[in-house]
Amino acid sequence: MQHLKLLANDNRGLNELENGTSLMGWHEVTQGSILLSFEGDATHIAHLKSEERTYSGYNSYTATVASWRVLKPVYNRDICIDCQNCWVWCPDSSILSRDKQMLGIDYDHCKGCSVCVEVCPTNPKSLIMFSEQTLLEDALTQWPEKKKKEDK
Amino acid sequence: MAEKYDLQEREVWDGNFAASQALRQAQVDVVAAYPITPSTPIVENYGSYVANGYIDGEFVMVESEHAAMSGCVGASAAGGRVATATSSQGFALMTEVLYQASGMRLPIVLAVVNRSLASPLNVRGDHSDMYLGRDSGWIQLDCFNAQEAYDLTLCTFKIGENHDVRLPVMVHQDGFITSHTAQNVYPLRDEVAYGFVGEFKPVDDMLDFSRPVTYGAQTEEDWHFEHKARQHKALMDSRSIIDDVFVQFKEISGREYKRVESYMMEDAEVAIVALGTTVETCIIAARELRKEEGVKAGVVAPRCFRPFPFDKIRDALGNVKAIACLDRSSPGGAMGALFNEVSAAIYTTDARPLVTNFIYGLGGRDFSIAEAKRIFKEQKAHVDAGKITTDIQQFSGLRGPHLGFFQTKRS
């Protein structure tokens, strides 16, 4: 079972979008609503893994959209074949993978669209949507059996 | 450095050519443009300067004016000096992106050759497009002839790119009357002009990979208001920087510009407030009328249409008894914009001049010296009667029965 804050930096998913914590006055907001992505020199930041990057408070990395979800994908390591289909298709970069090995879900940024489940090719699927309140360990005990081919 | 362009001390240029020469001398990096009458030669000439090696720049051909301004937004955010030109329908199609450019504080220069808006279709000059841009958050400067089209296009870069401003700037000239009329223009030498405009100094440029930034963020009710307020403050505060740039321009050229131009206003009793080439028509009318009939006529012209020179308009019109505000745009169910804004400014002073509104010159309808004189004399009649004796809004130069709206309630 994956950790909810898998591969997360200290500031991942810190802020709810709906109620920013530090509401600045007009004189303090950035010019042109232009937002700095990283703290410090970011010249080689593309070579760093996300948990090694210095995301600024303006970066969406520090915001969470977890509350938007009704259903969440749950990942089952025992069935996954590391095909990376879900990683390719996820529209929010919320599939966490290292060295082409699938690790789990970024639950701070996943909006529960279930595209990853749709594109998962295994039988049974290695990603299945469960209600948001279902605990990960409970979900894993409810995994379906392999489907047999139906007779024609 | 690019090829040397041979310039005479005095050239015979139309407004379009004058504006394009200013783009060349400012060494604009990127022009993304789509052709439309009557502004086409500005960007066409820039394209030829690039092709012939006079500028180290890039001409981006696009499929519409919406794309043209979008290309300018991209190039400006990337960190380049950017300009384009348009008119009328093209301006209307650009409008959505005009707000994007000003909101992102991108100092793009847009040469607008004023032309009416359809329907019915018309390629001639009026101020419909200029008025359409007046809430877009751009600085808007207005030229009355080809020399000014050249001078003020150079000034726009220095104003918009100032780090305390960082706003896009439109430089307006009247379609055909300025854009296609060849006049004497005295250009600056290339090195003097470029020395005045200066090197482009980028801010938050996207090509700085050490400092990645997000442009075009979404801000809902918790943030949008603050961002728009800060933008408005920058636009209001640009007034003093515009004044500074005009002072610096006078030092290199000898030619003086002000946010509000006043002609024969020292002792004027009646005044016309107008924009564009009409200003010169009214100056001639006022001069002749003073000689012929002793009417103390003067002319006031907002050189800077946005930010609206609320302060300078009050100074210019504080002592006159009657004012005619001339709007060259169909007002769409209201008084003309110039009438509304000038009246509002004067209303905050002790002066209570008699202010009337003329809608004139739509679709390039000629505005004559004789008509300007008639309007001056009508103002004089108001003064003598002690009240407005006509409708407050009238149409000037219109065929058919008299058309006018609203009468004064002052006794």
Q: From first to last of the 152 residues of chain A, give the pLDDT tens digit.
A: 888 889 888 888 888 765 555 678 999 999 999 999 999 999 999 999 988 999 998 899 999 999 999 999 999 999 999 999 999 999 999 999 999 999 999 999 999 999 999 999 999 999 999 999 999 999 999 999 988 877 76
B116 is a domain residue: yes
Bridge partners, residue B261, by sequence:
B301
pLDDT class of B241 with cuts at 50, 70, 90? very high
Instruction: Convert the pLDDT of each residue in B188-232 to its tens digit.
Output: 999 999 999 999 999 999 999 999 999 999 988 888 999 999 999
- Matching residue, tokens 């392999």: A146
The verdict on B69 and B217 lying in the same domain is yes
Judgement on whether residues B248 and B285 belong to the same structural domain of the protein:
no
Instruction: Tell me the chain A residues in contact with residue B106 when contact means C-beta distances shorter than 8 Å.
Output: 32
Distance CA B375, CA B282 (A): 10
Q: Please report the pLDDT score of residue A18 as a whole number.
A: 58
Write out the residue range of the structural domain in which residue A131 sits: 15-141
Nearest alpha-carbon partner for B332 in B324, B342, B322, B340:
B340
Q: In this structure, are residues B126 and B177 in contact, taking their beta carbons and an 8 Å threshold?
A: no
A22 lies in some domain: yes
Place of tokens 């307006």: B172
- Per residue in B310-333, pLDDT (tens digit) is 999 999 999 999 999 999 999 999
Whether the per-residue pLDDT at B42 is higher than 90: the answer is yes
**C-alpha count within 13 angstroms, C-beta hemisphere, residue A42:** 19
Contacts of A20 in chain B (CB under 8 A): 222-223
**Separation CA B386–CA A147 (nearest Å):** 96
Is A36 in CB contact (< 8 Å) with chain B?
yes
Indicate if B142 and B241 belong to the same structural domain.
Answer: yes
Token output for B34 = 């789509």
Boundary-marking domain end, from B231, B253, B275: B253
> Closest Cα of chain A to B41: distance in Å?
32
What pLDDT, on a 0 to 100 scale, did the predictor assign at position B114? 98
Mutate to test the interface with B, among A16, A33, A55 (most CBs of B within 10 A): A33
Chain A residues touching B227 at Cβ < 8 A:
26, 29, 33
Query: What is the predicted ipTM?
Result: 0.86
Banded model confidence at residue B25, pLDDT cuts 50, 70, 90: very high
Does residue A1 form part of some domain?
Answer: no
> Of B218, B253, B288, which closes a domain?
B253
Task: Give pLDDT, residue A4.
Answer: 87
Whether omega before B202 lies within 30 degrees of 0, making that bond cis, reads no
Cα–Cα distance for residue pair B9/B30, rounded to 1 Å: 28
Same-domain check for residues B156 and B268: no
Same domain as B137, residue B68: yes
Q: Does a structural domain hold residue B3?
A: no
CATH number of the domain within which B238 lies: 3.40.50.970
Residue B87's CB is within 10 A of a number of other CB atoms, namely 27
Of the partner residues A20, A24, A37, the one whose CB lies closest to the CB of residue B213:
A37
| Boundary-marking domain end, from B210, B230, B253 | B253
CA closest to B107 among chain A residues: A32
B115 shares a domain with B142:
yes
Task: Judge whether B112 and B171 are in contact, CB under 8 Å.
Answer: yes
Q: At B39, which amino acid appears?
A: S
Kindly state whether residue B112 falls inside one of the protein's structural domains. Answer: yes
Task: Return the residue of B nearest to A20 by Cα.
Answer: B222
Structural domains of chain B, count: 2
Structure-derived torsion over alpha carbons of residues B99, B100, B104, B106, reported in degrees to the nearest 10: -80
Predicted confidence band at B394 (pLDDT cuts at 50, 70, 90)?
Answer: very high
pLDDT bucket at B80, cuts 50 / 70 / 90: very high
pLDDT, averaged across chain B: 97
Rounded distance between C-alpha atoms, residue A110 and residue A120, angstroms = 16
Question: DSSP secondary structure string, A45-79?
Answer: GGGS-GGGS-B-TTSGGGEE-GGG-SEEEEE-TTT
Alpha-carbon distance of B326 to B120, in angstroms, equals 22
Question: Are B35 and B148 members of one domain?
Answer: yes
Residue A5 lies in a domain: no
Is A43's CB within 8 Å of B105's CB? no
Q: Do B213 and A29 touch (CB under 8 A)?
A: no
Rounded percentage of chain B residues whose pLDDT exceeds 90: 97
> CATH no. for residue B364?
3.40.50.920
> Nearest CB to B226: which of A25, A37, A58?
A25
Here the contacts of B241-246 (C-beta below 8 Å, separation 24 or greater) are: B241/B159, B241/B162, B241/B164, B241/B165, B242/B139, B242/B159, B242/B304, B245/B155, B245/B158, B245/B159, B245/B162, B246/B155
Query: Domain check: are B179 and B296 in the same one?
Result: no
Distance in angstroms (rounded) separating the CA atoms of residues B366 and B127: 13
Whether B173 and B294 share a structural domain: no
Give the pLDDT of residue A22: 66
Nearest CB partner across the interface for A35, out of B106, B214, B233: B214
Same domain, B67 and B207: yes
Residue A124 domain-assigned (yes or no): yes
Are residues B77 and B169 located together in one domain of the fold?
A: yes
The Cα–Cα gap between B221 and A18 comes to 10
Q: For residue A43, give the chain B residue with the closest CA.
A: B210
Residue A19's pLDDT is: 56
**In-domain check, residue A127:** yes
Contact yes or no for A33 and B104 at CB 8 A: yes
Provide the pLDDT confidence category of residue B341 given band limits of 50, 70 and 90.
very high
B213–A25: do the CB atoms touch at under 8 Å?
Answer: no
What's the gap in Å between the CA of A1 and the closest CA on chain B?
A: 35
- Expressed in percent and rounded to 5, the helix, strand and coil fractions of chain B are 40, 20, 40
* Nearest chain A residue to B137, by CA: A32
Range of the domain at B55: 11-253
B225/B121 same-domain check = yes
Instruction: Collect all residues from B whose CB is shorter than 8 A from any CB in A.
Output: 103-106, 166, 203-204, 209-217, 219, 222-223, 225-227, 229-231, 233-234
- CATH classification of the domain holding A23: 3.30.70.20
Q: Taking CB atoms and an 8 Å cutoff, what residues of chain A touch B234?
A: 31
What's the confidence (pLDDT) of residue B1?
Answer: 55
Decide: helix, strand or coil at residue B353: coil
- Residue B286: how many CB atoms within 10 A of its CB? 26
User: What is the count of structural domains for chain A?
Assistant: 1
B160 pLDDT more than 60: yes
Domain contains B410: no
